[in-house]
Amino acid sequence: MSQAAAEARRRVVIVGAGFGGLSAAKRLAKTPLDVTVVDQHNYHLFQPLLYQVATASLSAADIASPIRGILRNADNVKVILATVSGVDVARREVLAEGRRITFDDLIIATGAEHAYFGNEWAEFLPGLKTVDDATYIRRRILLAFEHAETEPDADERRRLLNFVVVGGGPTGVEMAGSIADLANRALASNFRVIDPRTARVILVEAAPRLLTLFDPPLSEAARRSLEQLGVEVRLRAGVTGCDGGGVSIGAERIEARTVIWAAGVKATPAAEWLGAEHDRAGRVKVEPDLSVPRHPNVFVIGDAALMLGANGKPMPGDAGVAKQQGKYVAKLLIARDKSKTFPPFRYRHLGSIAAVGRKSAIVQIHWLKLSGLPGWLVWSVAHIYYLIGFRNRAIVAMNWVWNYLTLQRGTRLITGVTGSRDMTGCVPLPAAVKVDGAVLPCAADPDARAQ
């Protein structure tokens, strides 16, 4: 190819290699467009199964694949490992760690991050969005049982064996059910002093029912399944306070050393980069073709975009929406490169699914509504299908079959700490540091936090 021909090719930059960004990159492979994918990680992560990493069912490698490996046969696609800090729309440049990456068309697919509704709870309420989040939560959960085994103080032992999950959406329901399964089955016979089955798992949701995206009968089926696992479901209950010793729900105090946040997310700062109009959650308001108003060559997709569906409500922030939007924008750019027009984006809702423990799930796909074991089978097939790469699919399938038949977990390793650390990943506190029976959080250990 001559230099003039190379310069004439349109340059497409994709920021983020999640479901939306990767779908766009794969669709643009082997096209007459130069594509650059920029991501702060070198892997694509299957986020819907992060909770299984956090509860020691799967390892992180089972649900992640290297981006370069996925796109290895796409000669026109380049991958850059860097953290994006801004976009210069006027100069058509993406700013990433001192680099200026020039584009003709830009696709922003940066996803979402934790949101605490203005509260300073991040230190005490870890969320679940990244591999680091999952391994940190796994460490917290497993250390809770380990420290309870040797804790002489009954009050502190009770606090260690209390687990609170805040948020009754899919992530919260799946986390609570999986922690209960871990305590009641996988760890039940592993300890000599404590009985893990005495662990108390509490799911807190401010709404009047769980899983509000589902029809009420399925939400009720999910609640019953969780309660059969021993999970305490608290509805119409909002968290009003949180510290190193537990959470407050209204006037009630629940002492717990492990509290997990699954109640809110916000978009990454795409709107700030673009100076674009956005909603309270930071999602960029986009045109029917997913472009940013006044910038027809800049697109925002996935969790970072705000687009209303046929029902007049914002499209859900799930993998299905992101994948469809990524493919749509890629097809639109291919059509534009051929000087052809392309219709507006139309979302096809494929259904909603959520797991509730080891052998139960709820499924709502148009007229099909399932719960219990039939729902779990559909849920399993759907998740295995969407995993990237045959190796990952085979490993996850084998792990699930093994766990189901033997009641064992695949990975129960405590990593990222040196020696014995307390529940915040810090050096253990002296016994005297207690106030009114509550153990105060210790100062952060930067080495442990960085793991």
pLDDT band at 169 (very low <50, low <70, confident <90, very high): very high
Asked if residue 183 lies in contact with residue 201, where contact means CB atoms within 8 angstroms, the answer is yes
Of the candidates 97, 174, 205, 252, the residue annotated as catalytic is 174
pLDDT band at 296 (very low <50, low <70, confident <90, very high): very high
Q: What are the angstrom distances between the C-alpha of 209 and each of 31, 177, 215, 372?
A: 47, 16, 10, 18
- To the question of pTM greater than 0.75 for the whole model, the response is yes
In a domain, 16, yes or no: yes
Higher pLDDT, 163 or 243: 163
Instruction: Out of 278, 303, 337, pick the residue that ends a domain.
Output: 337
Distance CA 197, CA 193 (A): 12
Partners of 368 in beta bridges: 365
108-117, 136-145, 375-384, range with greatest mean pLDDT:
136-145
Q: Which CATH number goes with the domain that contains 269?
A: 3.50.50.60
Q: Say which DSSP state 5 is in.
A: H
Mark whether 145 and 241 lie in a shared domain.
yes
Mark whether 101 and 137 lie in a shared domain.
no
Mark whether 411 and 366 lie in a shared domain.
yes
Instruction: Out of 286, 304, 337, pick the residue that ends a domain.
Output: 337
Q: What is the pLDDT of residues 49-70, one digit of tens each?
A: 999 999 988 888 888 999 999 9
* pLDDT at 250 (0 to 100): 85
Q: Which residues contact 120 (CB under 8 A, 6 or more apart)?
A: none
Mark whether 269 and 255 lie in a shared domain.
no
In a domain, 125, yes or no: no
Mark whether 200 and 151 lie in a shared domain.
yes
Q: Is 84 exposed, middle or buried (0-12, 13-18, 19+ CB in 10 A)?
A: buried
Instruction: Out of 308, 337, 366, pick the residue that ends a domain.
Output: 337
In a domain, 306, yes or no: yes
Q: Which amino acid is at 442?
A: C
In a domain, 215, yes or no: yes
Residue of 233, 253, 234, 55 lying closest to 159 (CA atoms) = 253
DSSP-derived 3-state class of residue 30: coil
What's phi and psi for 53, nearest 5 deg? Answer: -70, -40
* pLDDT at 150 (0 to 100): 94
Mark whether 332 and 370 lie in a shared domain.
no
Mark whether 227 and 367 lie in a shared domain.
yes
Mark whether 138 and 36 lie in a shared domain.
no
Higher pLDDT, 295 or 62: 295
Asked if residue 51 lies in contact with residue 143, where contact means CB atoms within 8 angstroms, the answer is no
Q: Are strands 434-435 and 438-439 parallel, antiparallel or unpaired?
A: antiparallel
Mark whether 137 and 221 lie in a shared domain.
yes
Q: Which CATH number goes with the domain that contains 427?
A: 3.50.50.100
Q: What is the pLDDT of residues 16-49, one digit of tens each?
A: 999 999 999 999 999 999 999 999 999 999 999 9
User: Tokens for 128?
Assistant: 């679940």
Mark whether 356 and 243 lie in a shared domain.
yes
User: Tokens for 423?
Assistant: 């529940």
Partners of 386 in beta bridges: none
In a domain, 210, yes or no: yes
* pLDDT at 405 (0 to 100): 60
97 is a catalytic site residue:
no
In a domain, 124, yes or no: no
Higher pLDDT, 262 or 422: 262
Tally of domains in the chain: 2
Mark whether 357 and 250 lie in a shared domain.
yes
In a domain, 316, yes or no: yes
Q: What are the angstrom distances between the C-alpha of 418 and each of 72, 149, 271, 309, 427?
A: 37, 19, 40, 49, 9
Mark whether 361 and 423 lie in a shared domain.
yes
Structural domain of 166: 131-263+352-449
Asked if residue 36 lies in contact with residue 14, where contact means CB atoms within 8 angstroms, the answer is yes
Q: What is the pLDDT of residues 384-428, one digit of tens each?
A: 887 777 677 788 778 777 766 665 655 677 776 544 444 544 333
In a domain, 185, yes or no: yes
